[in-house]
Amino acid sequence: MGARTYGAVLPRWLGITLLVGTWHLAGCSAYRVNHTAEPFLAEYAAGPAAAEPPQFSLARPSLPESGSAAQRSRADQFSVSHPRVDDYVTSFQTDSRGFYQRALNRGSRYLPRMERVLREENVPTELAYLPLIESGFRTHAVSRAGAVGPWQFIRATGRRYGLRIDGYVDERRDPVKATRAAARYLKDLYAQFGDWHLSLAAYNTGEMHIQRELNRGRAEDYWEMSERGYLARETCNFVPQFLAALQIAQDPTAYGFEQPPDEPLQYDLVRVSHSVPLKTVAKITNTSVDQISELNPALHRGVTPPQGYTVRVPKGTKDIVEVALARMRHDARQVVAAPLPSTPETYKLRKGDSLAAVAKRHGVSLTALLKANRIRDARRVAAGRVLRLPAGARSAKVAAPARAPQRLAARRAR
């Protein structure tokens, strides 16, 4: 479907003359689609064509005729015929073609689980394609405004809908958990506005802005609000951009795109009770750190939190990982529990000890003890030093060192 021209095209001089006076009336229709900007990368940077006359269109969208808006299925609002939707279809097919194909391919790894979450939350599955224009399905996408992840949550909204955001974890990057948060947010917006176009606009600009415009009574729906210039340019573009992206995604080959690969991410879940580096998980599963990081995009420090975490591992490796981590945990506890002061390997020198007595007590020569610890002068070794015992040393009960005879005699003389 190509772009269409609606309304009268004004002569250049008249268009320039009337531009200032009619800017408010024209609203979003004064903007042409920027066919050179990728939607996410440009953050909807389509601007007015300075050398072109503005085009005015107060066209309303054509919706399926299946009763009143209240009775019509909410999914019907995603099948819209409108000139601005057509413009974005053309944009995706031409200058933004590479972006769209890459985003569609990337999204195929996440869409099955996203759609399942939306169904569980009783939200239309068509909304699973919203991250296509929000982020290009990039889990690590960050906007200029600080929105993060495939669904582009700002910190406050993410936390409001239950996403963990701290020094170890940012669940805005998690394609499953962020989808559930987005579904609940969108469901709340639909409950407030009763219209998916308004709900999508509110998702982009904030529900307070949309509610304020409705309260003013100047517009009844998104399209009127948009055409009359009551919305920011980005929000004006956001809804038709999404509808165009969805239209293509439902039948990519019909619009000249390749069918995305059917290769969704597959993984098992392993609960760990302590901090585990992702490189350790990669080594256990014989994969790369990049592969483990792709499965766990919310972990932005390359390690699981010390309080415990459910980590994703490659499909079929759950048992291997659980056994390996349990063994490592057991070995670590054994090392921590091992007594340091007196073992066949080490001995902590106590006040009054002599190196000769320590060597004799453990069945090694004084020379061997000095050599093992690189000690040149036995008289300069202080109490508290941990000595390495040479190979072949035997364990011995640590008895209190005997006082030197001359010291005892001196005390008795007092």
Cite the active site residues: 134
Only one residue has tokens 């599955």, namely 125
Q: Establish how many alpha carbons lie within 13 A of residue 270's alpha carbon, considering only the half-sphere containing its beta carbon.
A: 29
Tell me the DSSP string of 256-306.
Answer: TPPPPP-----EEEEEESS--BHHHHHHHHT--HHHHHHH-TTBTTSB--T
For residues 363 and 324, give the distance between their C-alpha atoms in angstroms, rounded to a whole number.
39
Q: Are 317 and 268 in contact (CB under 8 A)?
A: yes
For residues 351 and 404, give the distance between their C-alpha atoms in angstroms, rounded to a whole number.
12
For residues 209 and 190, give the distance between their C-alpha atoms in angstroms, rounded to a whole number.
15
- Which residue type is seen at 71? Q
| E-only strand ranges, 62-194 | none
Q: Are 264 and 110 in contact (CB under 8 A)?
A: yes
Q: 395: burial class by Cβ within 10 Å (0-12, 13-18, 19+)?
A: middle
Q: 210: burial class by Cβ within 10 Å (0-12, 13-18, 19+)?
A: buried
Q: Are 118 and 20 in contact (CB under 8 A)?
A: no
The distance from CA 363 to its chain's CA centroid, rounded to whole angstroms, is: 60
- Structure tokens given for 299: 């972990």
Torsion over CA of 301, 305, 309 and 313, rounded to 10 degrees? 30
Within 10 angstroms of residue 296's Cβ, the number of other Cβ atoms is 23
